[in-house]
Amino acid sequence: MARMCMYRFCGLIALAVILGSTTIAVGQTAHTKKVFMITDMEGVDGIFNSELQCNPFQSPRFEESRKLLTGEINAAVDGLMEGGATEVVVWDGHDASRTLSTLDIHPKARLLMGSPVSSTLELNSSYSALVFIGQHAMAGAEKGVLAHSYSSDGVQNIWVNNKTVGEIGARVMLAGTFGIPVVMLSGDAAACKEIHELVSQAECAEVKWGVSRTATFSLSHPAACSLIREKARRAMERLAEFKPYVLSGPVEVKVQFTTKATPDIQPRAGIEQLDERTWVFRGKDIIEAWLKYSSF
Ligand SMILES: [Zn+2]
């Protein structure tokens, strides 16, 4: 009798386990985890010189750089998929979006290439996470390898509500307005420092350590790729811990141009010139303010 009850009890537990796992399985298939990947070249392992390596189809070592970037992207796609991503969209974010090729991009990724794309990078709230690969730090960052903010020699400083930002900051804030958390970055140590100031728990693959703006200690390409794969997998496994970066409005974007730049900006509602080199762009949120200045 006692034994029979035990069997029944076990049966009930087994049934509960089966029902439970069925529910989880249904939940997982219903919930896709789509990841948007912003790619750039200056933060990739082995890259230290723009003229030599980064100008599409002009730099003598461009083809090598393209391969290094592609290797890092594909390692990240592997890691993201291992960590639970169901879809990865890779945006070719370096210099006018003409670097990557469908010949050698990860077969499970979808490539967004060419320009123009929407000023908000074709992002929407269907994405579960955003990651950066090959990312450099903002203009003026200490020991930031090839550090710049959007324009290589046009922008000195950008502030959003008095916080200094570069491409990382602006895009973390952009993603936040769509409810997308930024979970991972690969790049040099200065870029990792920058993401951690905004998203302290972000996974970061440091693939090189700047000595100056144009010199660096770098991991080998295979070592960089395995680190990136590992960090990408961890980031997806930890996805539930992340929250989108929310910037409550109104927002003020202040841009100080370099002496070399001659920005063609007409003052109008929400746009004001503060001094010879500095302009301010105001809006109800980051998107409205930023788009008065530039696309993301
Ligand atoms: Zn860039």
Task: Indicate if the pLDDT at residue 112 is higher than 90.
Answer: yes
- The answer to whether the beta carbons of residues 37 and 131 sit under 8 Å apart is yes
Compute the chain's Rg from CA coordinates: 22
Q: Which residue has the higher pLDDT, 111 or 264?
A: 111
Q: Which residue has the higher pLDDT, 28 or 238?
A: 238
Q: Please give the distance, rounded to the nearest whole angstrom, from the Cα atom of residue 222 to the centre of ligand 1.
A: 23
| pLDDT cut 70: percent of the chain above it | 90
Q: Which residue has the higher pLDDT, 85 or 2?
A: 85
Which CATH code, of 3.10.290.10, 3.40.50.1100, 3.40.50.10780, 1.10.10.10, is assigned to 33-147+166-245?
Answer: 3.40.50.10780
Q: Please give the distance, rounded to the nearest whole angstrom, from the Cα atom of residue 217 to the centre of ligand 1.
A: 20
Q: Please give the distance, rounded to the nearest whole angstrom, from the Cα atom of residue 95 to the centre of ligand 1.
A: 8
Q: Please give the distance, rounded to the nearest whole angstrom, from the Cα atom of residue 22 to the centre of ligand 1.
A: 45
Task: Indicate if the pLDDT at residue 70 is higher than 90.
Answer: yes
- Whole-angstrom distance, CA of residue 12 vs CA of residue 34: 37
Task: Indicate if the pLDDT at residue 14 is higher than 90.
Answer: no
Sheet holding 203-212, edge to edge: 109-112, 87-91, 34-39, 129-135, 182-188, 203-212, 215-218
- The answer to whether the beta carbons of residues 105 and 73 sit under 8 Å apart is yes
pLDDT of residue 31: 84
What are the residue boundaries of the structural domains of the chain, listed by start? Answer: 33-147+166-245
Q: Please give the distance, rounded to the nearest whole angstrom, from the Cα atom of residue 7 to the centre of ligand 1.
A: 64
| Tens of pLDDT, residues 155-212 | 999 999 999 999 999 999 999 999 999 999 999 999 999 999 999 999 999 999 999 9
| pLDDT cut 90: percent of the chain above it | 85
Q: What is the mean pLDDT of residues 250-261?
A: 95
| Tens of pLDDT, residues 264-292 | 898 899 999 999 999 999 999 999 999 99
**Chain-wide mean pLDDT for the chain?**
92
Within 40-193, strands assigned E span 87-91, 109-112, 129-135, 155-160, 163-164, 182-188
pLDDT grade for 21, boundaries at 50, 70 and 90: very low
Task: Indicate if the pLDDT at residue 6 is higher than 80.
Answer: no
Q: What is the mean pLDDT of residues 116-121?
A: 97
Question: How many whole angstroms from its chain centre is CA 128?
Answer: 13
The two three-digit tokens of residue 199, written as one number: 């998203």
Q: Please give the distance, rounded to the nearest whole angstrom, from the Cα atom of residue 168 to the centre of ligand 1.
A: 9
CA-wise closest residue to 216 among 53, 62, 41, 45: 45
pLDDT of residue 30: 52
Within 113-219, strands assigned E span 129-135, 155-160, 163-164, 182-188, 203-212, 215-218
Task: Indicate if the pLDDT at residue 253 is higher than 60.
Answer: yes
pLDDT of residue 4: 41
Q: Please give the distance, rounded to the nearest whole angstrom, from the Cα atom of residue 18 to the centre of ligand 1.
A: 49
- Whole-angstrom distance, CA of residue 39 vs CA of residue 111: 11
